[in-house]
Structures are given as structure tokens and as C-alpha cells.
Amino acid sequence: MDYQSGQHGGAVEPADTAAPPQRLSRSPEEAALAAQRRFRQALIEAGLLIPTGVDGLYGRSADFEAIADGLNAAIGALGADQQAEVMRFPPAMARQDFEASEYLKSFPQLAGTVHSFCGSDRDHHRLLARLDAGEEWADQQRPTRVVLTPAACYPIYPVMAARGPLPPQGRVVDVLSYCFRHEPSVDPARMQLFRMREYVRLGTAEQVAAFRAQWIERGSALAQQLALPWQLDLANDPFFGRGGKIVADGQREQKLKFELLIPIHDDAPPTACMSFNYHKDHFAEVWPLRTADGARAHTGCVGFGIDRLILALLRHHGFALARWPSPVRELLGLRHV
């Protein structure tokens, strides 16, 4: 793969020609891991991603951010008719709301909490002594009232519930946030801190179902406009533990989650870059979200993985933005890049 041009070449990459014979029979998992490492290294060498020494935690270049701005503008244009209320939160939320959301019941392996030093002067000296000795010091900190946001939509539900019953037409919220999930990986498409743009629908079951169907069409059309290969598939969230499989099977059986998948690595399954979710009345069980007639409100959302979409564009169109297809550059406002 020629990442600079976005084209597949006929020649074998040098790394493959130098590989020992036994690697020709490597497992699919090993092949996927190798492809992810190659792409990440190419992104770093091109200056598009800036390594920090922690897998899944990167800085971004000016070109990377220009694409992000263009995607957010294009997504905003798609949702211009939604009469959405715009909400922007920092990548953190109140711990009490996080605990109420039941996220820890389903995804404890992904959660990130914020801790801080709350001790005395003596405790501080103990912390510094451990630090100087290269010993573990984190147990000298205590959890704060803040946790890292796991999904962009989570902070809006307690806010909307506090306002009282929804109007008859329900509500739509436009939200964008960095999110955290503890999934350190060499795959650049599996970042620990990443951006998620969402439109969230609150209302009746019928309103949410119509919203999701509409956004599946719009998301598919956006992928087409971006000249990206894609497929839509039924999906489930990565629920934790033995009981998680039962929950995941139920989620698929009820068709609560669909993902728009785009291939990013040659030797790996396609990556979810958009998701279309129906939560039923789950969040109305957690917070008093009610429709105009007092019934439990249903919710759903469409999520756009901004960083994953950028990686998909770089993978298929190359690292030189000036060589991207003209319609894609026009859509993303990259004419002068």
C-alpha cells in the first residue's frame, strides 16, 4: 500500500520481502497486527500523528485537524434541518452521573477515572519518596468527583432530565466531545482519547426509530460522498464478562445497534466509523426523562468517529491532501490545503 498516494501498488513492500519464511503462515491476528503497526508508523513518519510513548494517545498535525474541521462542517450541514440544540462539554463528566448511568456494569474495562492528591504534607513527602525511588505512587491519590467521558452523549441525559418533560416533538441535541476508553492498542484507529460527534434524539419510540432510519441513510450518503468503501452491519457493544455475551446477543437480536464499517487496514476486518443506536428507554430508567404525556422517553443517537473517519480518508486517498479527489476536497473545505 502506498500511503502517500492512497493507491495499491503491484510491488511487495520491503518489510514483507525481508520477513523470514515462517511469517508467510502467520495467523490472521498476526497479519492484522502487522498491518496496524505499518499504518501507524507511516502516519507518524508523515507527521500526521505525533507519538507520546503511550499506545492510543497521539497528537495531531495541522493537516489532520483540517480534515477534522471539514468533517465536522459536513456533518453539521447534514444535520442542519434537525433543529438541534448544540451542547459542547469538556471530556469529563460528573462522577455521580457516570455512576448512575450504569456504565460500570457493562464496560468496567473501558472506564477512566480522575484521581488527585488529597493528603497532608507528610503524605506528600511519602509520595515524593516513592517517586524518587521509582516505586508505585498512584495509591497516594484519591478519586475526584470527575470521570473521563466514555461517550459524547452521556453528559446530556441528566441535563435534559432536569428540564422536565420533553415537548411533543421531542428534542435533538448536537454534541461533540473527546471521549476516553481504556483500550491501549497499536491500531491507530483504536485510540484511548478520540473525538465523537453525535446527534441524539429524545422522544417517543416512533420518533427515535424514524430518526435512526433517517441517519442511516444520511451516514451512508456521507461515506459515498467521501469516496470511501463502506458496508452497514448489525453490531453490539463490547459488554464485559460472561453475562456480557448474553447482553450483546440480546442487543443484536433486537437490532439496537448498526455500524458503518470502512476498511482501514489491508489485513484486518473493517473498522466501525459511524454507529446508529437505539437505547429504548434505558436512560429514562436512570434519569427522569419523560415525554410530554409523562411516559418514559426513548433515546437514540448517531455517532461519527471523527478520528477514524480521518484515518479512513488518509488510508484510501493518501497522505497528500492536494491529491485527494476534487469532490472530497470541496466537501471538506480543503481546496487551499
For residue range 127-137, what is the model confidence (pLDDT) as tens digits? 999 999 999 99
Task: Kindly report the backbone phi and psi dihedral angles of residue 298, in degrees, each rounded to the nearest multiple of 5, phi listed first.
Answer: -100, 155
Would you say residue 20 has pLDDT above 60? Answer: no
Grid cell, residue 216, equals: 442511516
Residue 9 forms part of a structural domain: no
Instruction: Find the domain containing 127 and state its range.
Output: 114-143
What letter would DSSP give residue 151? S
Instruction: Compute the average pLDDT of residues 140-166.
Output: 97
Q: Which comes out higher in pLDDT, residue 101 or 15?
A: 101
C-alpha to C-alpha distances, 35 to 161, 190, 264, 293, nearest whole angstrom: 45, 14, 9, 53
Same-domain status, 118 and 246: no
* Total tally of structural domains belonging to the chain: 2
Q: Is beta strand 171-180 parallel, antiparallel or unpaired with respect to 49-51?
A: unpaired
**pTM of structure:** 0.91
Q: Contact at 8 Å (CB) between 111 and 103?
A: yes
Q: Mean pLDDT, the chain, as a whole number?
A: 92
Residues 290 and 216 reside in one and the same domain? yes
Q: Domain for residue 3, yes or no?
A: no
Q: Say how far apart CA 308 and CA 262 lie, in whole Å.
A: 9
pLDDT at 14: 35
Q: Does any domain span residue 6? A: no
What pLDDT is recorded for position 7?
A: 63
Do 314 and 169 share a domain, yes or no?
yes
The verdict on residue 337 lying in a domain is no
Do residues 187 and 56 both lie within one domain?
Answer: yes
Both 61 and 49 in a single domain? yes
Residue 160: inside a domain: yes
**Cell numbers given for 85:** 440544540
- Tell me the C-alpha distance between 298 and 291, whole Å: 8
Determine the average pLDDT of the residues in 204-231. 98
Q: Do 97 and 37 share a structural domain? A: yes
Residue 2 lies in a domain: no
